[in-house]
């Protein structure tokens, strides 16, 4: 019998953990909508933040645009070079969300983007830290749904925090 790390994601563990969700349509719908709302909140909020900064003539608007943009491009190149298979590919599991993407799992661009945008809000507004709540929820959802490994989302969030340090240089 092959030994695995006690918390390593295996097909058996994934099926056992997700079985209660799969049996309940309302739970599947709740998870799907939570993923959608968390993702869309950043797509909507970030341009509003930039428009607000332009409106008030904020000196750091350029940083709030360039740092996330350049960072996402660099992260995308890294993902292409690493090209790590997704959990549903490697473990032969059926993810909770239907997804056709092959590879490019590490690091998570979804999580990187949500965390860099949350960091932008924190840089601009004193209450901006609240955007880390849906970003963290999104990270948990992406792992739970079988489209990312925990390391994908942890490294994605960590790289976003490192990139956000450039706001202060």
Q: Is the pLDDT of residue 7 over 70?
A: no
Where do the domains of the chain lie?
26-168
Check if the beta carbon of residue 91 is closer than 8 Å to that of residue 14.
yes
* 92 phi-psi bin (left φ>0, alpha ψ -120 to 50, beta other): left
Long-range contacts at 75-78 (CB < 8 A, ≥ 24 apart): 75/107, 75/109, 75/112, 75/156, 75/159, 76/109, 78/107
Q: How far apart are CA 70 and CA 83, in angstroms?
A: 20
What pLDDT was estimated at residue 146?
86
Q: How far apart are CA 66 and CA 104, in angstroms?
A: 23
Q: Is the pLDDT of residue 14 over 80?
A: yes
More confident: 100 or 90? 90
Structure tokens at 51: 């428009």
Looking at the chain, the number of H-run helices and the number of E-run strands are 7, 0
pLDDT in tens, 146-162: 889 899 999 999 999 99
Q: Is the pLDDT of residue 36 over 60?
A: yes
The single residue listed with the structure tokens 């190149």 is: 77
The H or E element that residue 155 is part of is helix 150-164
pLDDT in tens, 54-87: 999 988 999 999 999 999 999 999 999 999 998 8
Mean pLDDT of 18-39: 90
Confidence grade of residue 124 (pLDDT, cut at 50, 70, 90): confident
């Amino acid at each position: 019998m092959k030994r695995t790390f006690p918390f390593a994601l295996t097909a058996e563990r994934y099926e056992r953990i997700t079985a209660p969700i799969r049996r309940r349509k309302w739970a599947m719908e709740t998870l799907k909508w939570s993923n959608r709302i968390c993702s869309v909140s950043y797509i909507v909020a970030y341009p509003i933040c930039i428009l607000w900064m332009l409106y008030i003539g904020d000196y750091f608007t350029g940083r709030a645009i360039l740092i996330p943009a350049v960072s996402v491009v660099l992260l995308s190149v890294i993902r292409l070079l690493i090209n790590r298979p997704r959990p549903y590919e490697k473990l032969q599991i059926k993810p909770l969300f239907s997804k056709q993407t092959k590879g490019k799992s590490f690091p998570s661009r979804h999580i990187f983007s949500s965390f860099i945008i949350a960091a932008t809000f924190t840089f601009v507004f004193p209450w901006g830290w609240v955007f880390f709540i849906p970003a963290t929820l999104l990270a948990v959802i992406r792992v739970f749904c079988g489209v990312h490994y925990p390391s994908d989302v942890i490294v994605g969030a960590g790289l976003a925090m490192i990139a956000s340090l450039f706001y202060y240089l």
